[in-house]
Amino acid sequence: MLEVDIRIRRGAFALEARLGAPTPGVTALFGASGAGKTTLALALAGLVTPDDGRIALDGECWFDAAHGIAVPAERRRIGYVFQDARLFPHLSVAGNLDYGARRARPLVRYADRDEVVALLGLKGLLERRVHELSGGERQRVALGRALLAQPALLLLDEPLAAMDVARREEVLPYLETLRDRYAIPMLYVSHQYEEVLRLANHIVLLADGRVAAAGTPAELGTHPSLQALIGAEAVGAVIDATVATVGPASGLAEVTIGRARLRVSLPGATPGAQVRLHVLARDVILATHPPEGLSVRNAFAGHLLELKAEAADSVLATVAIDGMRILARISPAAVEELKLAPGMAVWALVKAASLRRQAYRRGESAPVPL
Amino acid sequence: MLSAAESEALVLSLRVAAESVLLDLPLAIALSWLLVRARFAGRPLLDAFVHLPLVLPPVVIGYVLLLLFGIHGPIGSALRSAFGIRLAFTSGGAALATAVMSLPLMVRAIRLSLEAITPGLEDAARTLGAGALDRFVSVTLPLMAPGILAGAVTAFAAGLGEFGAVITFAGNVPGSTQTLPLALYSALQSPSGEWAAARLAGLSFALGFGGLALAELLARRLRRRLGQ
C-alpha cells in the first residue's frame, strides 16, 4: 500500500492529497493539466518537499513532517520516468541503462539487464548516442534505466505526452509488458483516459489539487467527476471480464461478467484471459420489452437505477445488471415516450462490434516478485 | 631559427601558462558553480569581483599581488615561514599573476556550459540513486566539459601573452620570469633587437591564433558528441 497524505502550497497553487494506492498494481493519477499530478509525483520522489503530511510505501516511511523524516530522493528507490525522458547526453544508451543499475543495492536486484533489454527491445540501440533516438526509443530507454535501478516504486510522469498518437503505440505495449512481468508498484500520471484504462487497475482522480474520487476503473467509470473530465464522447461503463469461449474464425468471443455473458469481437483472445471492456454510453440502447428480431447479440435484462440530465438533448441512464452497471445515453424525448423511471425493468442492448475498439487485453502471466 | 634565449622564453611561457591553467581550473569550476547554482546575498558582488582583472590595468593586479604575496605581505610571509615558498619574482609568481588575469576568461566559458545543461538531468540522476558529489562528478562535470575545455585553452593562449601583471609581480628575469612578451619588450628596448622582436611577435601571434582555433575545434567536437 502506498499511503500519501500531504499538503503543499506554492503561491496560488495548493495541493492537498490524501490517497492510498494498492501495491503491487498500477495506479493511475488521472486529472486535467494543472490539477497537481506532477507536483504529487515529485513529492513522492522526494524532489519536492511537502509542507506537511506523510508518505509511506508498504510500511517504509519516506516522509513524515511530524517526526522530521524526509528520506532524500537518492535513497527512496523510486524509478522516475519523466515526460522528457531526461537521458544523459554524454552517455550511450548502454551507459544510461547502467547508470542506475550500478547504484542499485545488490540485495534488491530483481530486474535483470539482459531481460530488460530484451523486453523493451533495446538490443539494437545499446551503442547509440542518446540524441540519435526517436521519442519512443528515448522513453523505452528511460523505462529501462529506471527499472534497472531496481526501484521499489515506478513513477511514470506522462511518459507518452510528448509523443503523437502513432508514437504512443510504440511505447504502450512495452508498458503493458513491464506491468505484467514485474510485481513492481507503478504510479502512472496521465490525462489520457485511454491509456489509463489500458494500464491501470486503480484510478486516483485529481482535480484542483485534491483527490476528487478514487477506485477501480469499473467503479470510477460511472462517477460524475470522471465523466466531467473525460468528455461526453468517452463516457461509458468499464467492465473487467473473463474470456469464456472464442469462436474459431470470427474472433467473436464470449466473455463472462458475473452471471452475465457478453459477445465481443476479440480477435486473438484465448479462453481464461482477462479483458477490460469500455462500453460507451452512446452505443447502448434501452428497451422496455425483451427485444426480438434484432441483429444485436447482447441484450441484458436489468433495472433502471438512475436518470441524469447531461445536457439539453441528452440523459444519462444507469442500468444495474447482475451486479454490474451499464451507462446509456438517451434523449429526453425517449425518457418521456417510454415513461422511464428509476426502478423500472429495462433491457440494455449492446452491439458486439461497437465494443471492439474499447476492449483491452490484460496480462495473464504471474509477475516476478520483488 | 630561435636563439637560445628566445627558445628559453618560449618554453618558460608555455610552462607558466600551463601552470596558470592548472591553478585556475578548480577555482573557476567552483566559482562558476557558485555563480550559477548557489543562491546567496553576495552573488552579484562575487560576480563583479571575479571579472575585475578584465577591467583593471594589469599593473594594478600585479601591485595587489605584491602587497598580498610579497615577502612582507600577509600571505607571502605566511607561505614562506610555513613552506619556504617564495612567489614574488619567481616563475611560480609569474604563473600566479597569469592565473589571476585569465580567471575571468575561464569562469565565463565554464559558466556558459553550466547554464546550458538541460534542467532536470541532475534530478534524474538523483532518482537513480546518485548523491550530491556523485551527481556532480557523473553528470554535471561531463556536461560542462565543452566549456571547461574551451576555457582552459583560451586561458592558456591568453596566459602566453600576459605582460603587465607578470612584470609587476614577477619581474623580468631572463630564464626565470622572462616570458615571450617580456622578452619581446626587452628586445624592443635594445638597439639591435628589431629582428628578434619581429620573430617573437610572430611566434606570439601563431600561438594565440592556434590556441583559439584549437579551443573552438575541440569545443565543437565535444558539443556534437553531446548532441547540443
List chain B domain ranges.
4-225
- Percent of chain A at pLDDT > 70 equals 95
Residue A346 class from Cβ within 10 Å (0-12 exposed, 13-18 middle, 19+ buried)? buried
Choose the weakest-confidence range: A138-147, B30-39, B80-89.
B80-89
Does residue A13 share a domain with residue A155? yes
Does residue A289 share a domain with residue A224? no
Question: Tens digits of per-residue pLDDT, A131-181?
Answer: 999 989 999 999 999 999 999 999 999 999 888 888 888 888 888 888 888
Residues on chain B touching A45 (C-beta within 8 angstroms) = 127
Q: What is B4-225's CATH superfamily? A: MetI-like (1.10.3720.10)
Q: How many domains is chain A built from?
A: 2
pLDDT value of position A358: 54
Contact B128/A145, CB-based, under 8 Å? yes
Residues of B with CB under 8 A from a CB of A: 118, 120-121, 123-131, 134, 138-139, 142-143, 145, 225-228
Higher pLDDT, B219 or A184: A184
Higher pLDDT, A23 or B97: B97
Does residue A171 share a domain with residue A220? yes
Contact B124/A80, CB-based, under 8 Å? yes
Question: Tens digits of per-residue pLDDT, B39-66?
Answer: 889 999 999 999 999 999 999 999 999 9
Higher pLDDT, A28 or A232: A28
Candidates B131, B226, B228; nearest CB to A74? B131
Does residue A118 share a domain with residue A246? no
Residues on chain B touching A146 (C-beta within 8 angstroms) = 127-128
What's the mean pLDDT in B196-201?
Answer: 90
Residues on chain A touching B138 (C-beta within 8 angstroms) = 99
Residues on chain A touching B124 (C-beta within 8 angstroms) = 80, 82, 86, 88
Please give the grid coordinates belonging to residue A155.
513513477
pLDDT value of position A369: 58
Does residue A193 share a domain with residue A83? yes
In A, residues 139-198, which contact B (CB 8 Å cutoff)? 145-146, 149
Domain, as residue range, for A300? 237-361
Establish if A368 belongs to a structural domain.
Answer: no
- What CATH number has the domain bearing residue A342? 2.40.50.100
Does residue A217 share a domain with residue A286? no
pLDDT averaged over every residue in chain A: 87
Last residue of a domain, one of A206, A228, A250: A228
Q: How confident is the model at residue A370 (pLDDT cuts 50, 70, 90)?
A: low
Residues on chain B touching A99 (C-beta within 8 angstroms) = 125, 128, 130, 138
Note whether A106 contacts B: Cβ–Cβ < 8 A.
no
Residues on chain B touching A104 (C-beta within 8 angstroms) = 129
Residue holding cell 501495491?
A: A23
What's the mean pLDDT in B4-16?
Answer: 89
What's the mean pLDDT in A89-97?
Answer: 95
Q: What are the Cα distances from residue A362, in Å, to A247, A249, A269, A274?
A: 19, 22, 10, 5
Contact B120/A80, CB-based, under 8 Å? no
What's the mean pLDDT in A349-361?
Answer: 67
Establish if A369 belongs to a structural domain.
Answer: no
Phi, psi of A359 (to 5 degrees): -90, 120
Residue holding cell 427485444?
A: A291
Looking at the predicted structure, is the pLDDT value of residue B210 above 80? Answer: yes
Establish if A366 belongs to a structural domain.
Answer: no
What's the mean pLDDT in A321-345?
Answer: 89
Q: State the Cα–Cα distance between residues A127 and A34, nearest whole angstrom.
A: 38
pLDDT value of position A362: 57
Higher pLDDT, A247 or A357: A247
Does residue A257 share a domain with residue A204? no
Does residue A166 share a domain with residue A27? yes
Last residue of a domain, one of A228, A256, A290: A228
Does residue A107 share a domain with residue A58? yes
Looking at the predicted structure, is the pLDDT value of residue A234 above 70? Answer: yes
pLDDT value of position A145: 96
Contact A88/B124, CB-based, under 8 Å? yes
Does residue A265 share a domain with residue A224? no
Q: Are A309 and A293 in contact (CB under 8 A)?
A: no
What's the mean pLDDT in B101-114?
Answer: 94
ipTM of the complex as predicted: 0.84
Task: List the one residue out of A179, A363, A362 whose CA is nearest residue A275.
Answer: A362
Looking at the predicted structure, is the pLDDT value of residue A123 above 90? Answer: yes
Contact B128/A99, CB-based, under 8 Å? yes
pLDDT value of position A357: 54
Site from B128, B140, B149, B224 to mutate, A interface, most A CB atoms within 10 angstroms: B128
What's the mean pLDDT in B100-125?
Answer: 93
Choose the weakest-confidence range: A117-131, A139-153, A282-296.
A282-296
- What CATH number has the domain bearing residue A111? 3.40.50.300
What's the mean pLDDT in A335-349?
Answer: 91
Residue holding cell 486473438?
A: A268
Q: How confident is the model at residue A212 (pLDDT cuts 50, 70, 90)?
A: very high
Looking at the predicted structure, is the pLDDT value of residue B228 above 70? Answer: no
Does residue A209 share a domain with residue A89? yes
Contact B124/A86, CB-based, under 8 Å? yes
Q: State the Cα–Cα distance between residues A297 and A295, nearest whole angstrom.
A: 6
What's the mean pLDDT in A326-354?
Answer: 88
Nearest-CA distance A227 → chain B (Å): 34
Does residue A309 share a domain with residue A262? yes
Question: Tens digits of per-residue pLDDT, A40-51?
Answer: 999 999 999 999
Residues on chain A touching B121 (C-beta within 8 angstroms) = 86, 88-89
Contact A74/B129, CB-based, under 8 Å? yes
